[in-house]
Amino acid sequence: MKVAWIILHSFEMFYPEYRNKYKESGALDYEIICKQDHAIHRYCKAAQMEGIESEVYYLSQYEKTVREFTHKYGHKIKRVPINAGGGKYGKEITFTLLKELKKDTFHIIFVVPFYLNRIIDMFDLLALFCRTNKYPFIPIYSGDTFLGLPPLRRLSKRFFLNLSDKIFVQSKAEIKVLEKYAKIRREKIIYFNNPVMLDVFSIIPKEIAAKKLGYDPLKRYILYVGRLSREKGVHHILNILPSLIKIDQNIAALIIGYGPEGKRLRLQVKDKELDNHVSFMGMIPYEDLPLYYNLADIFVLPSYFEGKPSVLQEALACNTPSIGTTVGGVPEVLSNGVGLLVPPGDENRLFDAIKQILKGRFEINRTKRMQLLEEYSMQNVGKRLKEICEEVLNEH
């Protein structure tokens, strides 16, 4: 069995500093994209464990030729140029992608993630292409809710989503949204977890993690891992940090990631005179992330919008107490004593939750933790993926 995994946005938008650094054609692909651990590559690795051959397609707004690379996990990656919409996140159009898919032979086409940006966009064209060419088509729903869509766009997305054979969702809350607002039949919606590499993410004593990273093990670390964008709410961590420092001078925040808010957040740190308490780490090699989770006393994800974040699953695997917001699939990870939940944007509740963990008044529910990690394992996700693919092929 061979499946295609398609990412409908250009990766260069997420790596502006690296795009400038790796100007030679293909350098960004070799040095960054072929080494990254985006969820789509973990899907491919889980699929490989079950004998499913995978190939990833991603869009490029700067390169004008189709080029093939090999990811560190062994699957092929194909870079495809966009034909229109450059620089507009989620709005790129590429007919070259459709030509490439027609040349290649696949049993199933997945698209991950997709966004509801236009009345007609690349997702819609891809859905029509798959229906016309009789390719089984499975979108992985990003968590973009129908609730805020204008009426015309809602009708358009309802039509194109219903062209799919199945729809993966990673948040149970979104199942009801798709049923009610997109009029998707329940049997077409599949609740599906992102896989976690439990051979990479595991418990390491804080002292060992601190020694390997060169950090003071006596300090109390608050960790954020993710994109530096406004909806991620990182600024809330910085807003309450001065009050936390008044409680404990040993508190420090480690911010891992990159994004459009990076400059603004650094200015915020400077304005609040927090330079000695905040470190911006940029992009960290995936294999080093477990050390940071184990170094951290608390992991915080103060987002306004989420699907089911892999970073919470990774923190859980490292047994790091986590705080998240009551959005998307976050409660499905942190409920039942696994973590603490606060409303998005509520800095008072966020402050209290961090203080609760720092004072030792929270402990992760061990039984629930083990149950969730079993669900997230590469083996279980791979087996489930194979079952679904076989079911779709039998029905098609």
Supply the pLDDT for residue 114.
65
Do 50 and 146 fall within a single domain? yes
Do 9 and 33 fall within a single domain? yes
Summarised one tens digit per residue, pLDDT across range 10-61 is: 877 766 667 677 777 788 888 888 888 888 999 999 999 999 999 999 998 8
Q: What is the mean pLDDT of residues 226-243?
A: 95
Summarised one tens digit per residue, pLDDT across range 107-125 is: 999 998 666 667 788 889 9
Do 125 and 25 fall within a single domain? yes
Supply the pLDDT for residue 94.
93
Determine the Cα–Cα distance for residues 73 and 332; give it in Å rounded to an integer.
Answer: 29
Do 149 and 286 fall within a single domain? no
Q: Are the beta carbons of 343 and 157 closer than 8 angstroms?
A: no
C-alpha dist (Å) from residue 368 to 198, 310, 316, 339, 363: 16, 17, 10, 11, 12
Supply the pLDDT for residue 235.
97
Domain total in the chain: 2
Beta bridge partners of 282: 256
Token couple for 339: 């973590």
Asked if the structure places residue 311 within a domain, the reply is yes
Asked if the structure places residue 200 within a domain, the reply is no
Do 84 and 95 fall within a single domain? yes
Pick from 39-48, 135-144, 317-326, 347-356: least confident: 135-144
More confident residue, 357 or 329: 357
Sign of the CA dihedral with 288 first, then 169, 383, and 56 last: negative
- C-beta atoms surrounding 184 within 10 Å: 21
Do 8 and 84 fall within a single domain? yes
More confident residue, 308 or 360: 360
Asked if the structure places residue 201 within a domain, the reply is no
Q: Are the beta carbons of 25 and 360 closer than 8 angstroms?
A: no
Which CATH number does the domain housing residue 301 bear? 3.40.50.2000
Mean pLDDT estimate for the chain: 90
Do 217 and 328 fall within a single domain? yes
More confident residue, 147 or 270: 270
Do 93 and 242 fall within a single domain? no
**3-state DSSP of 41-88:** HHHHHHHHCCCCEEEEEEEECCCCCCEEEECCCCCEEEEEECCECCCC
Supply the pLDDT for residue 117.
66
Sequence-distant (6+) residues with CB within 8 A of 349 are: 342, 343
E strands present in 90-208: 108-114, 137-141, 167-169, 189-191
Do 188 and 298 fall within a single domain? no
Do 224 and 180 fall within a single domain? no
Supply the pLDDT for residue 354.
98
Question: Is residue 132 over pLDDT 90?
Answer: yes
Q: What is the mean pLDDT of residues 146-154?
A: 77
- Domain holding 355, by residue range, is 206-376
